[in-house]
A and B are shown apart, each in its own frame.
Chain A
Amino acid sequence: MIPCQNPDRLYDVIIVGAGPAGLAAALAAWEEGARDILICERAAEAGGILGQCIHNGFGLEIFREELTGPEYAGRYLDLLADTRVELLTDTMVIGIDGHETTELARGGRPGTMLHAPDCHRVRVTGSSLDCRDLRARAVILAMGCRERSRGGIALPGSRPSGILTAGAAQRYVNIEGWSVGRRVVILGSGDIGLIMARRLTLEGAQVLACVELLPWSGGLIRNIVQCLNDYDIPLLLGHTITAVHGRRRLEAVTVSAVDPRSRRPLPGTEQHYDCDTLLLSVGLIPENELTRAAGIPLDERTRGAIVDENMETATPGIFACGNVLHVHDLVDYVSAESGRTGRAAARYALSRKATPTPRSGSLMVLPAGELSYVVPQRLTRSGLARSQTLYGRVRRPMPEAYLVLESDGVVLARWKRERLAPGEMIRLNVPAAILQQAGGSLELRAEPAESATPDRHDVNRPAAMPPEN
Chain B
Amino acid sequence: MKQEVICIVCPRGCLLTVDSERDWAVSGNHCARGIAYGRAELQHPVRSLTTTVAISGAAIARAPVRSRGELPKETLPEVMAALRRCRLEAPVRRGDTVLADAAGSGVDIIVTRDLDRVTETEGEPA
Contacts and interface: CB of A to CB of B under 8 A. Distances in A.
CB–CB under 8 A between A and B in the complex?
Answer: yes
Interface string A50-87: 01001111001000001011110110000000000000
Contact of B7 (A44, A60, A222): A222
Interface residues of B, number: 32
Given A202-B51, A220-B13, A74 B94 contact: yes
B94 A175 contact: no
Interface in B53-88: 54, 59-62, 64-66, 73, 76, 80
B50 interface: yes
A74 B113 contact: yes
B114 interface: yes
Interface in B1-35: 6-11, 13, 30
Interface in A112-132: none
Interface residues of A, number: 35
B125 A221 contact: no
A176 interface: yes
Contacts of A69: 64
Report whether over half of chain B's contact residues are helix, strand or loop; otherwise say mixed: loop
Contacts of B64: 54, 68-70, 174
B104 interface: no
A211 B61 CA distance: 31
A222 B10 contact: yes
Contacts of A450: none
B66 A68 contact: yes
Interface string A191-205: 000000001001100
A427 B114 CA distance: 33
Contact of A54 (B7, B9, B11, B50): B50
A230 interface: yes
A221 B6 contact: yes
A173 B21 CA distance: 45
A74 B6 CA distance: 31
A226 interface: yes
A221 B16 CA distance: 13
A175 B60 contact: yes
Nearest to A221: B13
Contacts of A224: 6
Contacts of A220: 11, 13
B121 to A, nearest CB: 11
Given A74-B94, A230-B47, A174 B11 contact: no
A263 to B, nearest CB: 25
Contacts of B8: 222, 225-226
Given A74-B94, A202-B80, A56 B10 contact: no
B107 to A, nearest CB: 14
Given A45-B59, A70-B64, A70-B113, A177 B54 contact: yes
Report whether over half of chain A's contact residues are helix, strand or loop; otherwise say mixed: mixed
Interface string A209-240: 00000000000111011100010000000000
B62 A174 contact: yes
B62 A175 contact: yes
A55 B50 contact: yes
B96 interface: no
A465 interface: no
A173 B54 CA distance: 11
Interface string A156-183: 0000000000000000011111100000
Nearest to A178: B125
B11 A51 contact: no
Contact of A57 (B7, B11, B60): B11
Contacts of B113: 51, 70-71, 73-74
B97 interface: no
Nearest to B13: A221
Contacts of A51: 60, 113
A175 B123 contact: yes
B61 A71 contact: no
Given A68-B50, A74-B94, A222-B7, A177 B61 contact: yes
Given A176-B62, A226-B47, A60 B10 contact: yes
A330 B11 contact: yes
Nearest to B49: A202
A226 B112 CA distance: 21
Nearest to B67: A56
24 contacts: A44-B59, A51-B113, A54-B50, A54-B52, A54-B112, A55-B50, A173-B52, A174-B62, A175-B62, A175-B123, A177-B62, A202-B76, A203-B51, A220-B13, A221-B6, A221-B13, A222-B7, A222-B10, A224-B6, A225-B6, A225-B8, A225-B13, A330-B11, A424-B11
Interface of B: 6-11, 13, 30, 47-52, 54, 59-62, 64-66, 73, 76, 80, 94, 112-114, 123-125
A-B pairs, 6 with minimum CB distance: A221-B13, A70-B113, A177-B61, A222-B8, A54-B64, A177-B62
Given A70-B94, A175-B123, A225-B8, 4 more contacts: A54-B52, A54-B64, A175-B61, A202-B80
